[in-house]
């Protein structure tokens, strides 16, 4: 190389330079935390595990784990979810990354939060670990680490997302009544909805397939059962304005 490099040329770093720069930088531990929402008994739930850190004994925490060396972030989230719930065929979305210096008592751990919606009916048998528990959304208070903040952020995001896309279906059994669907939306958004307008809106969306079946074991007129037409929804190109309530 020339002696008379310009400033512009001076700033160029070779691979080795960059490598040693990156290698010598302070590195952080990286984890993923999953906020797993479910729906049961007309209540929105979140799946929590008892903290395994003595310092937080008795407190609840999100399902998290350190990211493996050769694992992408999404990959890690899917792995953790699979390990804990048994399934991987579900909606999973990155929410936010939390990196306050002191957020973990032992060391600097930056965590990437993921949010997931699962159908409790389909997954309930997989929860063998009795340190796991479905909590009612409104009973979540103190949590280990900064997990309450992560939960709050994820719940807000869920509320927002559910108004933009018909995601709620993934929380329901394959066949559901419109009442169940409405209960779900009311639970997520924490508002009351008008039954007729709600039905009108979802029928107009045209993603519901009438199963020609009705509920059983209800002590009153049973509702018709529907399933969500995921294929049609995925293919629909018409601009999606979200679901106003």
User: Using CB under 8 A as the criterion, which residues of the chain lie in contact with a second copy when the complex forms?
Assistant: 8, 11-15, 18-19, 22-23, 25-30, 50, 52-55, 57, 66-73, 94, 96-101, 104-110, 112, 130-131, 241, 244
Secondary structure (3-state) at 134: strand
Report whether 187 contacts 120 (CB < 8 A): no
CA distance 155 to 149: 10
Task: List beta partners, residue 209.
Answer: 227
CA distance 75 to 11: 35
Minimum CB distance to a second copy, residue 195 (Å):
22
CA distance 57 to 73: 28
Residues 171-200 close enough to bind DNA by CB under 7 A: 177-179, 194-197, 199-200
224 binds, among a second copy, DNA, none (CB under 5 to 8 A by kind): DNA
CA distance 115 to 35: 5
Is residue 58 a contact residue for DNA (CB under 7 A)?
A: no
Minimum CB distance to DNA, residue 188 (Å):
16
Report whether 242 contacts 164 (CB < 8 A): yes
90 binds, among DNA, a second copy, none (CB under 5 to 8 A by kind): none
Report whether 32 contacts 72 (CB < 8 A): no
Is residue 238 a contact residue for DNA (CB under 7 A)?
A: no
Minimum CB distance to DNA, residue 219 (Å):
4
Minimum CB distance to DNA, residue 173 (Å):
15
Is residue 106 a contact residue for DNA (CB under 7 A)?
A: no
| Nearest residue (CB) to DNA, 220 versus 235 | 220
Minimum CB distance to DNA, residue 202 (Å):
11
Is residue 167 a contact residue for DNA (CB under 7 A)?
A: no
Q: How far is CA 233 from CA 165, 182, 237, 239, 240, in A?
A: 10, 19, 9, 11, 10
Q: Which long-range contacts (CB under 8 A, 24 or more apart) does 178-183 make?
A: 178/202, 178/223, 178/224, 178/226, 179/223, 180/42, 181/226, 183/42
Minimum CB distance to a second copy, residue 101 (Å):
5
Can you give the binding site for DNA, defined by CB under 7 A?
A: 177-179, 194-197, 199-201, 214, 216, 218-224, 241, 244-245
């Amino acid at each position: 190389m020339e002696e008379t490099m310009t400033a512009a040329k001076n700033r160029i770093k070779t691979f080795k330079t960059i490598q040693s720069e990156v290698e010598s930088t302070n590195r952080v531990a990286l984890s993923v935390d999953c906020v797993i929402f479910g729906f049961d008994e007309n209540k929105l739930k979140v799946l929590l595990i008892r903290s395994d850190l003595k310092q937080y004994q008795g407190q609840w925490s999100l399902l998290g784990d350190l990211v493996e060396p050769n694992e992408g972030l999404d990959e890690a989230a899917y792995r953790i979810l699979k390990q804990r719930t048994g399934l991987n065929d579900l909606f999973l979305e990155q929410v936010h990354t939390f990196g306050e210096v002191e957020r973990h008592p032992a060391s600097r751990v930056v965590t990437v939060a993921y949010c997931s919606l699962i159908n409790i009916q389909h997954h309930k048998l997989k929860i063998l670990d009795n340190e796991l528990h479905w909590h009612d959304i409104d009973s979540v208070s103190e949590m280990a680490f900064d997990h309450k903040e992560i939960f709050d952020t994820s719940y807000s995001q869920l509320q927002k997302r559910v108004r933009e896309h018909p995601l709620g279906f993934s929380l329901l059994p394959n066949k559901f009544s419109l009442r169940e669907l409405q209960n779900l939306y009311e639970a997520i958004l924490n508002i009351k909805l008008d039954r007729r307008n709600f039905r009108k809106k979802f029928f107009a969306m045209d993603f519901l397939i009438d199963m020609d079946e009705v509920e059983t074991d209800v002590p009153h007129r049973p509702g018709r059962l529907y399933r969500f037409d995921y294929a049609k929804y995925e293919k629909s190109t018409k601009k999606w304005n979200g679901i106003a309530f």
